[in-house]
A and B are shown apart, each in its own frame.
Chain A
Amino acid sequence: MFEFLKSPVLAFQEFIRLSGRAIAGIPRKPYYMDDLFIQMDLIGVGSLPVVILTGFFSGAVMALQMSRALQTYGATSQVGTIVSITLVREMGPVLTALMVAGRNSSGMASEIGSMKVTEQIDAMRALGTDPVMKLVKPRLIATAFVLPLLTILADFVGLIGGWVVACYMLHLTTGQQFWESAWRALQYDDIAQGLVKPFVFAIVLSLVGCHYGMQTTGGTQGVGRATTQAMVVASVSVVVLTFVIGRIFTSL
């Protein structure tokens, strides 16, 4: 009767098992430092341009859209407050994670998936390395380390975007007032939320990408399927998780 539930449940079980093994493997040898640095470079440095662009324009667009509403209340001096709160709590973490999901979760799924269908994963196991330690662990650690940093950068660049629009395009406020209100608006739990989110997203993004890669079957066609599924599932998880984490923080 619940036959249709069988395969998603089995897949989720497999995801949990992979996650468990990867996380339990973090403190254990072997470490494969080279792979870790390659992944950090790929995810961190590789994502810089796209994160800077999205960050800048999301801050800019927020200042732009808020300007009319603020003008009707005569509260244009508050533009810094609004831009900084929305960026740090929500837009920075979510947009950065979505970019990394699009670039790296799908990239991990296609890379590991191609290795799976060309029997490189089997070869790895046969030749003495555990693919969870060699492939999944470096990706997990690299993403968990790099995504919060990228988010901080996106937040900062976003504030610059908001400042440019608010002060130089629309002349809503002075630069000093903008930065002061932006800084004052932030409380500890905003910053905590803004850092917990990317950390949690990073774990999910990397594990989802690796999971779909490891589960790939059916040749090159299967790799394409795994890639899309990884990106879709990773992106949806980000949007759902940001709500869940936000809910936890508001009830604290």
Chain B
Amino acid sequence: MAATGNNGIAPVVMAFDEVCFGEGGEQALHNISFDVRRGETLIIHGAAASGKTLILKLALGLLKPTRGRIFLFDRDVTRLAEREWFDMRSRVGVLFQEGGLFDSLSIEENVAYPLLNQRLLHFPEEQVHDRVEQSLEFVELGHTLEKFPSELSGGMRRRVGIARAIVTQPELLLYDSPTAGLDPITANTIMALIVKGRDVRGATTVMVTHRHQDGEILARYRFDERTSTLVPALEDSTHTRYLVLREGSVAFLGSSAEFDASKDPYVTMFASR
């Protein structure tokens, strides 16, 4: 995991520069600026409708900003044509808030979808099945290949979504509210998978969440491959940073230590104190 060393700074994977979305009185995002460097983890907190999902959709080019600039993998993607976006998106894995699983396709076809359709990948077709199986094993759902999304529980669907996000082994992973609406036990399972997905391949991770526990797991634990469990991470070795949104503006942006020390009453509502 080649994150920020003491000398030398890791390249920027994703950056927003004074980004606004929406017009006039209905502006949903105001002057959002932040960046995520390779190997970092960014946790985005915020009340409902504060613009968390919008940030992820802007970063994927699914929506266009009204002002400001967006960078992805050191490239200005603000005015990118849709055709070129497809190349950028093949380097990103995403789990949508509503899941976004195709309900007309089986679980296997869902997870295989990015492998078969991301043009830049050129993934050999004869290896698709193995890779899909491997990815589903990773989320401990190896036995569900033939099923359809409607036959799975909410937590299982979320896990299939994670399998689909990581199947292409992307450099950047975006998770939108992965634990929303799940019981605490399933939520912790999901979080463990996200930590595992981050640490096994050292992917840069951006996660939107309501729960402070989710952020803490990402910030304080790492996946130990030897024992296959989560173990406490050394101080700041996960390079976790926090972004807190309030009604479409940045209310807080800083390291995990700064987040814990913040006195802002809105920000502290998302911390565990």
Measured CB to CB, the residues of A under 8 A from B are 115, 117-120, 122-130
**Contact between B119 and A126 (Cβ–Cβ < 8 Å)?**
no
Return the chain A residue nearest B168 by Cβ.
A127
Query: CA separation between A187 and B21, bound complex, in Å?
Result: 59
Return the chain A residue nearest B89 by Cβ.
A126
> Number of B residues whose C-beta is below 8 Å from A?
24
Q: Which of B85, B98, B99, B118 contacts A127 (CB 8 A)?
A: B118
Chain B residues with CB under 8 A of A125: 60, 62, 85, 89
A-B contacts counted at CB < 8 A amount to 53
**Contact between B114 and A127 (Cβ–Cβ < 8 Å)?**
yes
9 contacts between A and B (CB under 8 A): A118-B98, A120-B103, A124-B102, A125-B60, A127-B89, A127-B113, A127-B117, A128-B114, A128-B118
Q: In whole Å, how far is A133's beta carbon from the nearest beta carbon of chain B?
A: 11
A117, A120, A128, most chain B CB atoms within 10 A: A128
Q: Which of A122, A129, A130 contacts B96 (CB 8 A)?
A: A122
Task: Known pairs A126-B60, A128-B117; list 12 more (Cβ under 8 Å).
Answer: A119-B100, A122-B100, A123-B94, A125-B62, A125-B85, A125-B89, A126-B62, A126-B94, A126-B96, A127-B118, A128-B89, A130-B86
How would you classify the secondary structure of chain A's contact residues: helix, strand, loop or mixed? helix
With contact pairs A126-B89, A126-B94, A130-B82 given, residues A118 and B99 touching in the complex (Cβ less than 8 Å): yes
Q: Nearest 5 A-B pairs (CB), nearest first?
A: A123-B100, A128-B117, A128-B118, A119-B100, A119-B96
With contact pairs A122-B57, A122-B62 given, residues A128 and B119 touching in the complex (Cβ less than 8 Å): yes
Chain B residues with CB under 8 A of A117: 98
Chain A residues with CB under 8 A of B42: none
With contact pairs A127-B114, A128-B118, A130-B82 given, residues A120 and B102 touching in the complex (Cβ less than 8 Å): yes
Chain B residues with CB under 8 A of A129: 117
With contact pairs A119-B100, A120-B103 given, residues A126 and B117 touching in the complex (Cβ less than 8 Å): no
Q: Mark B92-132, 1 if CB is under 8 A from A, else 0.
A: 10101111111100000000011001110000000000000
Asked whether B204 is an interface residue with its Cβ less than 8 Å from the other chain, the reply is no
Which of chain B's residues 71-85 have a Cβ closer than 8 Å to chain A?
Answer: 82, 85
**Contact between A119 and B117 (Cβ–Cβ < 8 Å)?**
no
Chain A residues with CB under 8 A of B92: 126
Asked whether B90 is an interface residue with its Cβ less than 8 Å from the other chain, the reply is yes
Q: In whole Å, how far is B168's beta carbon from the nearest beta carbon of chain A?
A: 9
**Contact between B90 and A119 (Cβ–Cβ < 8 Å)?**
no
Chain B residues with CB under 8 A of A130: 82, 86
Query: CA separation between A115 and B100, bound complex, in Å?
Result: 8
**Contact between B96 and A123 (Cβ–Cβ < 8 Å)?**
yes
Query: CA separation between A251 and B188, bound complex, in Å?
Result: 73
Query: CA separation between A120 and B161, bound complex, in Å?
Result: 12
Chain A residues with CB under 8 A of B119: 128
Chain A residues with CB under 8 A of B82: 130
Chain A residues with CB under 8 A of B89: 125-128
Return the chain B residue nearest A117 by Cβ.
B98
A123, A124, A129, most chain B CB atoms within 10 A: A123
Query: CA separation between A80 and B242, bound complex, in Å?
Result: 79
Query: CA separation between A62 and B243, bound complex, in Å?
Result: 71
Q: In whole Å, how far is A127's beta carbon from the nearest beta carbon of chain B?
A: 4
Q: Which of A123, A126, A128 contacts B102 (CB 8 A)?
A: A123
Q: Which of A115, A122, A124, A128 contacts B90 (CB 8 A)?
A: A128
**Contact between A119 and B99 (Cβ–Cβ < 8 Å)?**
yes
Query: CA separation between A119 and B149, bound complex, in Å?
Result: 14
Query: CA separation between A125 and B102, bound complex, in Å?
Result: 12
Chain A residues with CB under 8 A of B100: 118-120, 122-123, 126
Q: In whole Å, how far is B86's beta carbon from the nearest beta carbon of chain A?
A: 6
Query: CA separation between A124 and B116, bound complex, in Å?
Result: 12
Q: In whole Å, how far is B160's beta carbon from the nearest beta carbon of chain A?
A: 12
Return the chain A residue nearest B61 by Cβ.
A125
**Contact between B98 and A119 (Cβ–Cβ < 8 Å)?**
yes
Q: Mark B230-255, 1 if CB is under 8 A from A, else 0.
A: 00000000000000000000000000
Chain B residues with CB under 8 A of A126: 60, 62, 89, 92, 94, 96, 100
